[in-house]
Structure 1
């Protein structure tokens, strides 16, 4: 055992010494102590002859000392000893360049390429030697000549792609990377990473043009189609991407996974038309035998609902068509765990858009009574049911449902949400002191959303309760907020106008403007919302709605108006001028992201 252990310890010790000497030599070199560095690099080169790096650094030291004769003799000796190490001609050429003898340097470089054997390892070493000297054209020639010697046009395609990337020639970079993909389709993931990192927006057109051409000539390589779809996704052209995913699904006889995933991505990014097309494809082409049939049916219905209701631009006939589609879905799949989400969404449609609270309440009561429903699904249904009873004015039934969820999920987020809704109910009912006390407790919720909303409402009530006649005005404002909650927007606007007329100069004026801005956003009247937010910031900069307005206005510019510079300006203003705001951290993060910082 001792006999085996000693060589291992000796090897470990030797490696440690080499590493220390290498580090010391590097430090000498960086400090300009070339004699000391050269002596160490020479020793290291002799001890590890297979490592050409140390020899090259030794020659660099001699060149820095302008001891060109010694350097040339050392290179010649090394070439005589190891004639197959043709990368030494690159070192030789560099030495001539250091002396200003460019013609002789060029001769050595040409000699290196001329002497290159049909050996992949040697070719790569030579190309890397040129690449280390930033002689990219010579490195390209090495690989191109090497490919001819090996009679394999794809063997160095990836390496050539890297070189053309460093040269900034994107068309050739793309071409060679795609050559490498043709020979090795499993390389697609690394190519996606490279393209995402190095392609400019205009380069994607070139990538797509080359991919279309290759798809025609290499029809069996599905990696090209997959990469083409990916390139369209980078441009957020989901419709074009979906066409490719459908083609792949049919060619590979798959079960609809690719179109389903692409459709989900499109919906997430707001392209509802493409999402609907993708889900519909899975339903029509794959049918009930596909595991994505039910999810596609469910997501199709959900997407149609979002597309219709988010725009606040729909007719009663549009809503009736959507209602019928929900009915057809539930007739086909029934009520249960897999359809619970659809039932809750259908109930929301009935309550908030069809103004049929009775039907909405019946839907949720049926769902809650369904045996085998998961506890969290039942609790979520109860929360929605509580909202609907509140909309009917049945406060007691509403608070009973909220309290049941609060009790069952006391320390969980669902319990916090139920507690928040109970406090909000009290606010709507003008029981402001109790509501304010509950919001104070919820400020410590583990949910940032609940905690921030609770903080806002707590400060809001506190800010307005102590003023003369403010409770009457606050009650009227709470009525308007309830109307907004019920999606009765024209009535809410009327109530807010009455409040402004009845209490001129009241401290709620900025809140009235803020609520009107929220209504404008619901109606997709973004310019109007921005105008209202600007009025709040200009006329009420010290009120509690100012930072909210600044943050929401910045998001409108970013997400709806596609004006990133303006959004960035507003985010910066927020975290500088309102550093104590609950939105300051988020604003700083978004500002840095827009600036291009790594977060």
Structure 2
């Protein structure tokens, strides 16, 4: 008896397996456009499961694709006689529409809509069937009828999507906003949907419409969700000051967390809107109650002030750091400030001795291994700045030993490679960089690959590595903030090593240094030199993107930038700039942001 039961189970399993295989075959035939074979397979499946709606739909679709409209008609009529499923009326109507019989088509569409009067829940099948055949006005009619009949139903989302497909942007916006009103938890998804229709241009008609609809909601029913939506729209438009006003309004109504305002500060800093960033950070300093938020705001504000400073400002910045240490102390919570202060002393005030002494005292604090590594990374950088490479390597190696396989350990390994490269030990640097190509940090992996290519592409040009050593020295000078000296040394490479692989790399590095000095015309000349004379260089996409950014951000030549962005996504599909270039091209063309 048990054996017989097992045999039955095995047979059923075998039948199920064959059914799955047949399903896969049918699906593959349909997707490949082999509708005759698809129809044959789906008929077999339908014979086994005559209630499977997927098989039914695929049989009808196969008939329609084969233009066998009479067969489709007979099949659907037989289904309607057997099962009163309202979506079948849509399928029958669509079959008549394909035959050119609009009278019968509209008659069955009307029957499908009338079925909602009999049972409001029929809207789900009917509307979905209309949408599957791009009968969008009929789908809208179905949703509207159901919402009128049953107030609990909310099809604003589906209707908004349909209005979007129909190009009725205003009704689409209203639908999405109405949906958020009932489903505030979905606000993130709605923002993503709306981002397809707004641009960075505040004068764009869609932006104006959306702003008008949100402002009307604020007047009708004040709610922080509308301030949130308005803030989001202003961020899309890069109008960060207006976004800040909305974020303050949100915080005043719900003063539990400043995280949203901190996030806005981070966006403005990344977009180099420094004045608004400073205003936001000052507000955080005035408002924050918890120490972490307060110290982080001070840290970012000092970073911005340092970025914009001249030598005349250095003493004031130094005094600001010391005032903070006097007020809040030097302990683990002020660690970021301590490391930043040492960096400022060494790299801006050229006081490396005070910087290292300060950090060595910081290491005596009760810090965890990761915090100690953060201090040692900066110490290592300062010893590289002083060209005391062996001491720097000791600190970087200590990090690798204490925090194996961590991101900060990988960063330390990269700095080992960079220090070795600066001192001319190219073989050891290259061996470390090979390991880092598989780094879990994409940024470190990319930096490692770039440096490895500089070494491997140029160390064979001459056995003494003269040009490569000069380039590494120029790179070190740039690291030491000695940009004028670095530019001069790169000029030596360009004059004395014209036939070597290092030339486009020297041009690119020099262009970046020109940009840092705001010498945009000379930067443009260097980038163009790469694009004109070194078309096979691996730096072509880097130079193309950098030049486009230069035209947009500094030289006010958007049309030239647009052509360069387009060149990247048309001719450099494997470039790391591909996605950004396409997005920026579309923004310059006036497309919606995606």
Q: Which whole-Å CA distance do the structure 1 matches of 2:39 and 2:569 have between them?
A: 56
In structure 1, the partner of 2:567 is 569
In structure 2, the partner of 1:488 is 482
In structure 2, the partner of 1:379 is 376
In structure 2, the partner of 1:444 is 434
In structure 2, the partner of 1:110 is 110
**How many residues in Structure 1 have an aligned counterpart in Structure 2?**
549
1:402 equivalent in alignment to 2:393: yes
In structure 2, the partner of 1:127 is 127
Q: Which runs of 5+ in 2 are unaligned?
A: 437-443, 553-560, 586-594
Distance 1:130 1:569, change over 3 A: closer
Q: Which whole-Å CA distance do the structure 2 matches of 1:443 and 1:436 have between them?
A: 10
Match of 1:352 among 324, 347, 355: 347
Distance 1:64 1:401, change over 3 A: closer
User: Which structure 2 residues correspond to residues 20-419 of structure 1 after superposition, within 5 A?
Assistant: 30-32=34-36, 43=47, 47-48=50-51, 51=53, 54=56, 57=59, 61=63, 64=68, 66=70, 70=74, 74=78, 77-78=81-82, 82=84, 85-117=85-117, 119-151=119-151, 155-197=154-196, 202=204, 203-220=206-223, 222-287=224-289, 289=290, 291-306=292-307, 308=308, 314-372=309-367, 374-390=371-387, 395=388, 399-406=390-397, 409=400, 412-413=409-410, 415-417=412-414, 419=416
* 3-state secondary structure, aligned to 1:117: helix
Distance 1:142 1:592, change over 3 A: closer
- Decide which moves more: 276-285 or 401-410: 401-410
Distance 1:33 1:59, change over 3 A: same
State whether residues 265 and 281 of structure 2, in contact with CA within 8 Å, keep that contact through their aligned partners in structure 1: yes
State whether residues 416 and 450 of structure 1, in contact with CA within 8 Å, keep that contact through their aligned partners in structure 2: no
Distance 1:11 1:297, change over 3 A: farther
Distance 1:326 1:399, change over 3 A: same
In structure 1, the partner of 2:581 is 594
Q: Which whole-Å CA distance do the structure 2 matches of 1:569 and 1:486 have between them?
A: 35
Q: Which whole-Å CA distance do the structure 1 matches of 2:162 and 2:546 have between them?
A: 42
- Decide which moves more: 511-520 or 255-264: 511-520
Distance 1:44 1:251, change over 3 A: farther
Deviations 1:123-179 (A, max 9, x none): 222222322332111111111122111245x62212212222332322222211221
Q: Which whole-Å CA distance do the structure 1 matches of 2:5 and 2:292 have between them?
A: 59
In structure 1, the partner of 2:516 is 522
TM-score (norm 1): 0.75
State whether residues 263 and 275 of structure 1, in contact with CA within 8 Å, keep that contact through their aligned partners in structure 2: yes
- Decide which moves more: 352-361 or 160-169: 352-361
Distance 1:335 1:558, change over 3 A: farther
Distance 1:102 1:405, change over 3 A: closer
* 3-state secondary structure, aligned to 1:66: helix
Distance 1:109 1:290, change over 3 A: farther
Distance 1:36 1:304, change over 3 A: same
State whether residues 414 and 433 of structure 2, in contact with CA within 8 Å, keep that contact through their aligned partners in structure 1: no
CA RMSD of aligned residues (A): 4.5
Shift of 1:552: 4.3
State whether residues 75 and 88 of structure 1, in contact with CA within 8 Å, keep that contact through their aligned partners in structure 2: yes
Q: Which whole-Å CA distance do the structure 2 matches of 1:400 and 1:52 have between them?
A: 70
**Higher RCO structure, 1 or 2 (CA under 8 Å, sep 6+):** 2
Q: Which runs of 5+ in 1 are unaligned?
A: 309-313, 428-434, 576-584
Q: Which whole-Å CA distance do the structure 1 matches of 2:100 and 2:399 have between them?
A: 84
* 3-state secondary structure, aligned to 1:32: helix
Q: Which whole-Å CA distance do the structure 2 matches of 1:350 and 1:480 have between them?
A: 22
TM-score (norm 2): 0.76
* 3-state secondary structure, aligned to 1:487: coil
Distance 1:129 1:497, change over 3 A: closer
Shift of 1:211: 1.7
State whether residues 177 and 191 of structure 1, in contact with CA within 8 Å, keep that contact through their aligned partners in structure 2: yes
Q: Which whole-Å CA distance do the structure 2 matches of 1:495 and 1:200 have between them?
A: 44
Distance 1:182 1:558, change over 3 A: same
Q: Which whole-Å CA distance do the structure 2 matches of 1:213 and 1:506 have between them?
A: 66
Q: Which whole-Å CA distance do the structure 1 matches of 2:6 and 2:316 have between them?
A: 81
- Structure with greater Cα Rg: 1
Distance 1:56 1:113, change over 3 A: farther
Deviations 1:74-99 (A, max 9, x none): 36634xx74xx444443443354355
Q: Which whole-Å CA distance do the structure 2 matches of 1:384 and 1:8 have between them?
A: 70
Q: Which whole-Å CA distance do the structure 2 matches of 1:72 and 1:451 have between them?
A: 61
Shift of 1:484: 3.7
